[in-house]
């Protein structure tokens, strides 16, 4: 699918000012500007979060009262319970407080509900905890919506709520203290902390109060807080950025035996760990145990004092994570199968996707919905039913469509629903799913234009890789860690010439090539495009990185998007040409089902004497895919050509409509704008 490039807007004066005051390149200043940074001090705090101070935890409303009550519990040797949540944030927040209080000499125990008990505090659990002789309960990552439950056990238990979620309408009044930067009237400046972040701040406050530990130097368990901050997908800006940057640094030498085992199970021992590795390799392992078994096992790991026990637990998590992946793959392939049938039956013209199944794991359908959106770039709802009567759905959207508004327009169909612009959840009667599918599709088609369905590539700067010098590339390191609120910078350039393309990795899935002879580019999962890079100009999005290669430092372009460039003046294939391509594909498919785009273009051109660019040929294939005339399995690299089930109408294909209106061919080759850099390009191979 062709991407729509949107170059972010900037302000030259501010960029020049940041650049000169901070001594960074204008490119770096521009990327900072695109992250909402408009002055040199904020920019400095962003680039050097370690040097920026922690906020004083006692600014948080309720912190003083909470600390005093915990101090009293320590003095009176009361038994304290930590009550958490079953996701990574909840497990981590629990672990941080248990570890802190244990260090301070408290008698402390913990409780995490099962998914079947539901999220947050529940009365039976609270009563059971009180019956174990506990006087003080501290909630982490939950509790802010549980006024009723806290009131119900008021005579049995003192409750301190620590949370980061937005408060409900009826505020918590029955708790001894409420610590939540998002509660009404809390002056704490950092509103984006996760539950474990709040637990970490409480630990800082307790250590200062009871041990006189300087808040600015207190970083115990910061690596656990960092893991949760990444996993909970809160913005990695402000104090969160400081926590994650410092926590990632500590991760490799963590004193938490369980986390060390987890890092080992993920195969990351001795490696510099990035936020991405936490998000995709470490956190999912902890998450799976909460999804498939009980989060108490995850917490047990984080609290383990025994390396052998921790290793055994971490190995179990590996197995569960594999199981979760298998379930995800099964749901995904069944969903893809449904999309394929819908395309064939409707002859294209899909504006949205509504797919459903029986006994699909509720904890997994949200992940699947995200993958489906990634693949088709259509607003998607995935539903699952257990009893056949009621279904639960997970919704994911594309930027042009506000999902919550779409659901509002058909709220008569739902028993329950909620969410925001890009994600939502719902519960409804299974029998109404066909009606949901029809009305949702109609809503989307009414509200979106064809070009809204093109995936968007947000570009920080149009710049040719040869213009990136060594100094500038080095500055890119300082943007890490990446995550919500701080995406990878995207540099892009059209009409680039590549050479010396080589495939690498297992099954030759990855690609490396040279730009301008001496700039190395690496494109993951693009191995099949090696012939394209060799023979035609390409459109690139990339991020520069400095790395060491054969003892020499050099710049590498990490390619995030690689597309064929349209030849200048070339038009989108018309009806006749599409028919030629279609007949060619049918002929080929009789003897081979191998799908290799570059090889197919060559064969087509030599067989028909035409001169199709890869871009035009790929456009034609997109049209057939949308119309259900071709099914491509991009993992297996095979294709099949089902017989059309409906009368063919090319105008049912969005790509055809956009193409014939000349809305998807790239504009004439963009000449990269040159921006002044701090040093000359000669430095590229500096040692
Ligand atoms: Mn949370």
Q: Enumerate domains of the chain plus CATH numbers.
A: 4-47+458-564 (2.40.50.460), 57-251 (3.90.1640.30), 254-349 (3.90.1640.30), 350-453 (3.10.310.30), 575-677 (3.30.420)
Q: In whole angstroms, how far apart are CA 53 and each of 242, 420, 619?
A: 9, 33, 53
Give the pLDDT of residue 684. 29
3-state secondary structure 268-327: CCCCCCCHHHHHHHHHHHHHHHHHHCCHHHHHHHHHCCCHHHHHHHHHHHHHHHHHHHHH
Q: Ligand 1 centre and the CA of 167: distance in Å? A: 13
Q: Ligand 1 centre and the CA of 197: distance in Å? A: 9
Q: Ligand 1 centre and the CA of 484: distance in Å? A: 14
Q: Ligand 1 centre and the CA of 675: distance in Å? A: 42
Q: Ligand 1 centre and the CA of 199: distance in Å? A: 11
Q: Ligand 1 centre and the CA of 164: distance in Å? A: 7
With beta carbons less than 8 A apart as the criterion, state whether 403 and 423 touch: yes
Block residue for tokens 């002056």: 187
Q: Ligand 1 centre and the CA of 312: distance in Å? A: 27
Give the pLDDT of residue 205. 98
Helix/strand/coil percentages in the chain, nearest 5: 45, 20, 35
Q: Ligand 1 centre and the CA of 248: distance in Å? A: 19
Q: Ligand 1 centre and the CA of 348: distance in Å? A: 40
Q: Ligand 1 centre and the CA of 89: distance in Å? A: 5
Give the pLDDT of residue 682. 28
Give the pLDDT of residue 665. 59
Give the pLDDT of residue 673. 40
Give the residue among 34, 35, 32, 12 at the shortest CA–CA distance from 22: 32
Q: Ligand 1 centre and the CA of 223: distance in Å? A: 16
Please list the residues that pair with 178 across neighbouring strands: 161
Give the residue among 176, 199, 186, 205 at the shortest CA–CA distance from 57: 205
Q: Give per-10-residue mean pLDDT for the chain (687 aa).
A: 86 94 95 94 94 97 98 97 95 98 97 88 97 96 94 96 88 95 96 97 98 97 98 93 97 95 94 94 91 89 96 94 92 93 84 95 88 94 94 94 94 89 92 97 95 92 92 92 93 92 92 89 92 91 88 89 83 92 95 93 94 91 93 89 86 91 58 36 29
Give the pLDDT of residue 670. 43
Q: Ligand 1 centre and the CA of 45: distance in Å? A: 25
Give the pLDDT of residue 1. 67
Give the pLDDT of residue 170. 76
Cα–Cα dist 290/474, whole Å: 39
For the stretch 40-43, contacts whose Cβ atoms lie closer than 8 Å and that sit 24 or more positions apart, written own/partner, are: 43/18
Number of residues that make up the chain: 687
Q: Ligand 1 centre and the CA of 113: distance in Å? A: 14
Give the pLDDT of residue 167. 86
Give the pLDDT of residue 674. 36
Q: Ligand 1 centre and the CA of 90: distance in Å? A: 6
Q: Ligand 1 centre and the CA of 343: distance in Å? A: 39
Q: Ligand 1 centre and the CA of 235: distance in Å? A: 12
Q: Ligand 1 centre and the CA of 363: distance in Å? A: 16
């Amino acid at each position: 699918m062709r991407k729509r490039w949107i170059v972010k807007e900037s302000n030259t004066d501010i960029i020049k000012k940041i650049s000169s005051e901070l001594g960074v390149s204008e490119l770096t200043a521009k990327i900072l500007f695109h992250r909402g940074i408009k002055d040199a001090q904020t920019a400095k705090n962003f680039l050097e979060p370690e040097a920026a101070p922690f906020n004083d935890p006692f600014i948080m409303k309720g912190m003083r009262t909470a600390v005093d009550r915990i101090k009293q519990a320590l003095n009176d040797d009361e038994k304290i319970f930590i009550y958490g949540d079953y996701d990574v944030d909840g497990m981590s927040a629990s672990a941080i407080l248990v570890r802190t209080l244990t260090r301070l000499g408290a008698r402390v125990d913990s409780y995490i509900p099962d998914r079947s008990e539901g999220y947050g505090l529940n009365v039976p659990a609270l009563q059971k905890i009180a019956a174990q002789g506990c006087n003080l309960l501290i909630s982490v990552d939950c509790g802010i919506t549980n006024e009723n439950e806290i009131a119900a056990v008021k005579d049995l238990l003192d409750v301190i709520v620590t949370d980061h979620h937005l408060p409900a309408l009826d505020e918590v009044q029955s708790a001894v203290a409420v610590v939540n930067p998002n509660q009404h009237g809390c002056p704490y400046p950092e509103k984006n902390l996760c539950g474990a972040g709040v637990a970490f701040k409480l630990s800082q406050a307790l250590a200062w109060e009871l041990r006189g530990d300087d808040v600015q130097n207190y970083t115990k368990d910061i690596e656990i807080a960092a893991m949760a901050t990444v996993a909970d997908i809160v913005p990695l800006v402000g104090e969160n950025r400081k926590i994650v940057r410092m926590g990632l640094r500590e991760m490799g030498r963590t004193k938490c035996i369980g986390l060390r085992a987890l890092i080992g199970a993920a195969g990351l021992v001795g490696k510099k760990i990035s936020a991405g590795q936490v998000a995709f390799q470490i956190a999912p392992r902890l998450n799976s145990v909460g999804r498939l078994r009980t989060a108490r096992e995850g917490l047990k790991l984080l609290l383990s004092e025994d390396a052998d026990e921790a290793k055994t637990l971490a190995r179990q998590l590996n197995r569960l994570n594999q199981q979760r992946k298998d379930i995800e793959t099964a749901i995904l392939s069944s969903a893809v199968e449904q999309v394929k049938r819908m395309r064939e039956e409707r002859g294209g013209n899909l504006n949205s996707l509504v797919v459903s199944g029986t006994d699909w794991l509720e904890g997994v359908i949200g992940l699947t919905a995200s993958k489906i959106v990634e693949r088709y770039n259509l607003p998607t709802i995935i539903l699952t039913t257990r009893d056949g009567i009621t279904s639960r759905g997970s919704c994911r959207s594309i930027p042009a469509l506000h999902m919550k508004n779409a659901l509002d327009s058909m709220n008569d169909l739902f028993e329950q629903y909620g969410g925001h612009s890009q994600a939502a959840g719902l519960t409804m009667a299974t029998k109404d799913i066909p009606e949901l599918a029809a009305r949702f599709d109609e809503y989307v088609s009414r509200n979106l234009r064809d070009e809204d369905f093109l995936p968007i590539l947000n570009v920080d700067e149009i710049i040719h890789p040869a213009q990136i010098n060594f100094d500038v590339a080095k500055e890119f390191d300082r943007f890490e860690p990446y995550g919500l609120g701080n995406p990878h910078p995207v540099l892009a350039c059209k009409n680039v010439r590549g050479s010396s393309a080589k495939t690498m990795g297992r099954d030759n899935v990855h690609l490396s090539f040279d730009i301008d002879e001496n700039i190395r580019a690496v494109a993951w999962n693009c191995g099949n495009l090696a012939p394209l890079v060799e023979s035609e100009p390409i459109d690139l999005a990339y991020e520069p990185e400095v790395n060491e290669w054969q003892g020499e430092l050099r710049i590498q372009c990490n390619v995030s998007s690689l597309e064929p460039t349209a030849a200048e003046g070339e038009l989108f294939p018309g009806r006749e040409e599409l028919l030629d391509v279609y007949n060619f594909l049918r002929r080929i498919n009789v003897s081979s089902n191998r799908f290799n785009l570059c090889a197919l273009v060559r064969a087509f051109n030599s067989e028909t004497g035409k001169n199709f660019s890869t871009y035009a040929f790929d456009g034609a294939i997109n049209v057939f895919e949308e119309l259900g005339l071709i099914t491509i399995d991009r993992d297996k690299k095979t294709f099949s050509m089902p017989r059309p089930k409906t009368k063919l109408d090319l105008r049912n294909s969005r790509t055809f409509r956009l193409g014939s209106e000349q809305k998807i061919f790239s504009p004439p080759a963009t000449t990269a704008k040159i921006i002044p850099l701090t040093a000359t390009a000669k430095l590229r191979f500096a040692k």
